[in-house]
Amino acid sequence: MLAWFVTTDPQNAIEVFRPWLVKADGTAALRVRREYRKLDLVLEFPGFAPLVIENKAFALPDEAQLAGYSRGPIAKLDPRSSLVLLSLSNPGWSAYEAEGRQWRWVSYDELGARLASIPVAADFRSQVVRHEADLLRRLHEIIREVEVRDGEESFALETTVQAHLDEVGLGDAVGKSRAHQVMARVGNALEVAGVPSPGRPLEIGFTNKRPLLAGFWQVTEVMWVGWQLQGGQWRLAMILTSPHLKGVGRHPDRAAVALDHEQWFDFTALTSILASRRRRSGPGRTPH
């Protein structure tokens, strides 16, 4: 919608995006590029440096991804380009430097407010923009109501809340958003505790209509051990990368390797933690 808005109403678009535009000579014509080298949107207004917008609707931004963009496609743009991360969830920073380039965070609420500030008219284009502004601000309000605020709260939402979100088609999206928020807290907790960083990024997926969170550490060239959380299941797991252990018919061989390393499947510490959480959760509440 933003690309369409810019191409059909460039003057009002400049006013909407003005806080993030940098004046620069050299851009003579309006140009809008979508999915330019994997960047969501690149806007070029006459008299301004390019404005890059990376949109993260229900996911938290991946700083490694922003760094990759800064090294790659953004390095090919005007060095005066403005870089904006547009997202529903607060990334925990208002400005972030990646590979020497400065990213600024803009919330859906802020963009919605700026879209709503343009002059009201009765034409179709204006009405579409007005509806988009209202949608962005309502989505922001919903995410703010269901975001993870406390490390002691349950990851799963209350059943009635989840049901209402499912009714309006936002259940999965909110689940993804909360999964990213929880994993950000997990990453921070691991860093504070001095736990070595995983050899691969902490994983956030979505299967069987439920978020899947996972973290794995490398112990040998061909073995990774870690955990997975999905729904009410917490699993200790092992990833084996040896070619001779891959394939459907190799399950007995993989099981044998797991038995030889059963120390990685000790739930003792986890059992005591969950027991403590269950006592605090109370009757009828979801344990942490």
- The rounded mean pLDDT for the chain is 82
In this structure, is residue 162 part of a structural domain? no
Which residues sit opposite 52 in a β-bridge?
A: 42, 83
**pLDDT tens-digit profile of 121-131?**
767 877 888 88
Tokens representing 170 are 């936002």
Domain hosting 189: range is 169-281
**pLDDT tens-digit profile of 143-201?**
787 878 777 777 777 888 888 888 888 787 788 878 878 888 888 888 888 888 777 77
pLDDT at 20: 93
pLDDT at 60: 63
Residue from 29, 64, 36 nearest 52 by CA: 36
What is the rounded average pLDDT of the residues 202-213?
A: 81
> DSSP for 115-140?
HHTSPP-SSHHHHHHHHHHHHHHHHH
* Domain final residue, candidates 128, 144, 160: 144
pLDDT at 16: 92
What total of structural domains would you count in the chain? 2
pLDDT at residue 105 is higher than 80? yes
What are the φ and ψ backbone dihedral angles of 110, each rounded to 5 degrees?
-65, -45
pLDDT at 27: 66
In this structure, is residue 196 part of a structural domain? yes
Residues present in the chain in total: 288
Whose tokens are 């609420």? That residue is 109
- Residue 200's Cβ-side half-sphere holds a number of Cα atoms within 13 Å equal to 15
To 5 degrees, how large is the angle CA 145–CA 146–CA 148?
A: 115
**pLDDT tens-digit profile of 239-257?**
998 888 888 888 888 889 8
In this structure, is residue 149 part of a structural domain? no
Give the pTM. 0.66
- Cβ contact 88:56 at 8 Å: yes
Look up residue 81 and give its DSSP letter. -
Pair (7, 131) in one structural domain: yes
Pair (137, 192) in one structural domain: no
Residue 144 burial (CB count, 10 A): 14
Pair (108, 198) in one structural domain: no
Residue from 200, 205, 231 nearest 216 by CA: 200
pLDDT at 287: 38
Band (pLDDT 50/70/90 cuts) for residue 84 is very high
What is the rounded average pLDDT of the residues 42-62?
A: 84
pLDDT at residue 85 is higher than 80? yes
Burial class (CB in 10 A: 0-12, 13-18, 19+), 123: exposed
What is the rounded average pLDDT of the residues 27-46?
A: 85
Considering only residues 19 and 199, tell me which one the structure prediction assigns the higher pLDDT: 19
Band (pLDDT 50/70/90 cuts) for residue 26 is low
Pair (79, 186) in one structural domain: no
Pair (207, 242) in one structural domain: yes
In this structure, is residue 128 part of a structural domain? yes
Residue from 233, 222, 178 nearest 199 by CA: 222
130: Cβ contacts below 8 Å, ≥ 6 apart: 115, 116, 120
Residue 154, classed as helix, strand or coil, is: coil
Look up residue 191 and give its DSSP letter. H
193: Cβ contacts below 8 Å, ≥ 6 apart: none
Residue from 225, 215, 205 nearest 185 by CA: 215
208: Cβ contacts below 8 Å, ≥ 6 apart: 230
pLDDT at 34: 87
